Amino acid sequence: MNRLRRSALLLGLTASVVIGSSIPASATFTDPVSTSTGTMRTVTVAAPASIEIDESCTQVATGGYYNSYGRWVTTYTTYYNATVTWPASTTARGVTGYRVMAHLNNGTSVVMGETTASNRTVSARVDRAYLNYQPRLSVITLTSYGWTAETARTAVLSC
């Protein structure tokens, strides 16, 4: 008896779903509504106009060892130093800061630094071996409303 009831219930539900979904929906709106057309403003976020990089390579003694002749051999590491500067964005309102990105030849990007809207310089020092990734830099304008704009990428950095 339970099996018969379940089957009848299942058939009834299936039929109501099939029939209910085939009936078109209809709606009418009779209340008139008037609206005023206000002025819509568009906002354009501007990236900084240029990027300037002051770069250098320095060699630093990092240790040493005694060679097979008993002589001390000093080891050195070469570092790449970069200071990136840029002019302020011309965006009228909402600029909260800037993000400096290093784009590598393997398709990844690394945040080199972030600043506030009033600070437009970032400095970094890395092992020169990172230049094997042929990094290119860009600066992104950040805003309080989430929109961004990015500069063109620089030439490949080198010593």
| Number of domains within the chain | 1
Q: Which structural domain range is residue 117 located in?
A: 52-150
Of 12 and 95, the structure prediction assigns the larger pLDDT to 95
Domain holding 92: CATH number? Answer: 2.60.40.10
For 117, other C-beta atoms within 10 Å of its C-beta total 17
pTM: 0.69
Name beta bridge partners: 150.
140
**Lowest-confidence range among 90-94, 110-114, 121-125, 148-152?**
90-94
Query: Does 28 map to a domain?
Result: no
Query: Does 104 map to a domain?
Result: yes
Residue 100 burial (10 A CB sphere; 0-12, 13-18, 19+): buried
Of 40 and 133, the structure prediction assigns the larger pLDDT to 133
Query: Does 3 map to a domain?
Result: no
Query: Does 63 map to a domain?
Result: yes
Q: Does residue 27 surpass a pLDDT of 60?
A: no
Helix H, strand E, coil C: the string for 22-40 is HCCCCCCCCCCCCCCCCCC
Task: Extract the tokens encoding 144.
Answer: 């309080």
Contact 139, 150 (CB under 8 A): yes
Query: Model confidence over 99-123: pLDDT tens digits?
Result: 999 999 999 999 999 999 999 999 9
Spatial neighbors of 50 by CB under 8 A, at least 6 apart, are: 86, 87, 151
